[in-house]
Amino acid sequence: MFDPIRPFLEQSGVVIVDGGLATELERRGADLHDPLWSAKLLLENPELIRQVHADYFLAGADVATTSSYQATFTGLTRRGLDAGQAADALRRSVRLAQAARDWFWSEPERRAGRLRPLVAASIGCYGASLHNGAEYRGDYGLSRAQLQEFHRPRLEVLAGSGADLLACETIPCQVEAEALVRVLDEFPEVPAWISFSCKDEHHVCHGESLAACLAVAAASGQVVATGINCTAPRFITGLLHAVAGITTKPLVVYPNRGESWNAVAYTWGAASGPSPDWREAAREWYAAGARLIGGCCRTTPDDIRCMAAALRISPVTR
């Protein structure tokens, strides 16, 4: 299996991941008060998704994560799509990111010092499909086998979509990581990362230690990186120190802006503490062992531009 991350690490020692997608779409005027969240625009305004991907590449991102995080067969068919149309929507999420990459890469001056960026097909946790904030709790009450059955159909489509790798994101509990590893075994040529949502400097949201969860993920030969996402920035350095030595695989971190999600009011609450200095934070996380670094909810292209500049990757202008 080819590891698409390795060439970036060999060239510059770091991979810049993009930032928030749905919250950036909302910042640009999209109404995503919907169970499909960003995937709503796969049906209504795909061009806006492409534009956001393009702006992250311009900001210095080496990886675009697709708008499939909350796009599940259950949610899409509930919207009135049949199974074939739902699969087409998932593939469309990949094509939009690829189109943005092709546009970015079409200008030779944008390629200076860069490798051709990657497209990571987003696979959100089961909790995301519930649209009730369960990705920050992990209290599903489902067995590993049930979670495998949930993840298999979407993973199968995205594994064959032409994406460079899969991004299994915001996983809040160990049993879901175990389920994902089992399903990945069915697609042995597909690389992936698995990243966890955490509630403090040691534990994933459901309560298991991040160290135990990373060990599960890293045991898979298809997992090329593992780490943390959609977690408050103030916890990231401690989490990285807590898992030092757990795996030799690259560690990925892309935290949110530090605010908490209120799934009832459908709003972001105030952050605990000031927003981080993203330049300094990126340097600190790199020093603590992270090698794939970016942002999640509420982070913007400007934030990714700061991280890229701090880690000596030159952003470009349109």
Provide the CB-side half-sphere exposure for 73 (13 A, CA). Answer: 14
Residue 24 pLDDT greater than 50, yes or no: yes
Per-residue model confidence (pLDDT) at position 263: 58
Region for residue 205 given its phi and psi (left: phi exceeds 0; alpha: psi -120 to 50; beta: otherwise): alpha
Q: Which two tokens stand for residue 194?
A: 């698995």
Backbone Cα Rg of the chain: 18
Across the chain, mean pLDDT equals: 93
Count of positions (residues) in the chain: 318
Q: What confidence tens digit (pLDDT) does each residue in 142-196 have? A: 999 999 999 999 999 999 999 999 999 999 999 999 999 999 999 999 999 999 9
Torsion of CA 258, 263, 269, 273, to 10 degrees: -30
Give the burial class of 43: count Cβ atoms within 10 A of its Cβ; 0-12 exposed, 13-18 middle, 19 or more buried: middle
Residue 314 pLDDT greater than 50, yes or no: no
Q: How many CB atoms lie within 10 A of CB 41?
A: 25
CATH class of 6-310: alpha beta
Q: What value does the mean pLDDT take over residues 73-84?
A: 93
Q: What confidence tens digit (pLDDT) does each residue in 133-147 have? A: 888 899 999 999 999
Residue 317 pLDDT greater than 60, yes or no: no
Per-residue model confidence (pLDDT) at position 135: 86
C-alpha 194/C-alpha 240 separation (Å) is 15
Per-residue pLDDT band for 35 (boundaries 50, 70, 90) equals: confident
Residue 256 pLDDT greater than 80, yes or no: yes
For the four alpha carbons of 112, 304, 127 and 73, in that order, the dihedral sign comes to negative
User: Please, which residues bridge with residue 204 across strands?
Assistant: 198
C-alpha 101/C-alpha 93 separation (Å) is 13
Residue 264 pLDDT greater than 90, yes or no: no
Q: What confidence tens digit (pLDDT) does each residue in 192-249 have? A: 999 999 999 999 999 999 999 999 999 999 999 999 999 999 999 999 999 999 999 9
Please report, for residues 96, 224, 285, 307, the alpha-carbon distance to residue 163 in angstroms, rounded to integers and kept in the order given: 11, 15, 27, 24
Q: Which two tokens stand for residue 97?
A: 């990111």
Q: Which two tokens stand for residue 61?
A: 């991102």
* Domain regions of the chain by residue span: 6-310
Provide the CB-side half-sphere exposure for 87 (13 A, CA). Answer: 11
Per-residue model confidence (pLDDT) at position 271: 64
Chain position carrying tokens 């770091």? 14
Q: What value does the mean pLDDT take over residues 277-290?
A: 97
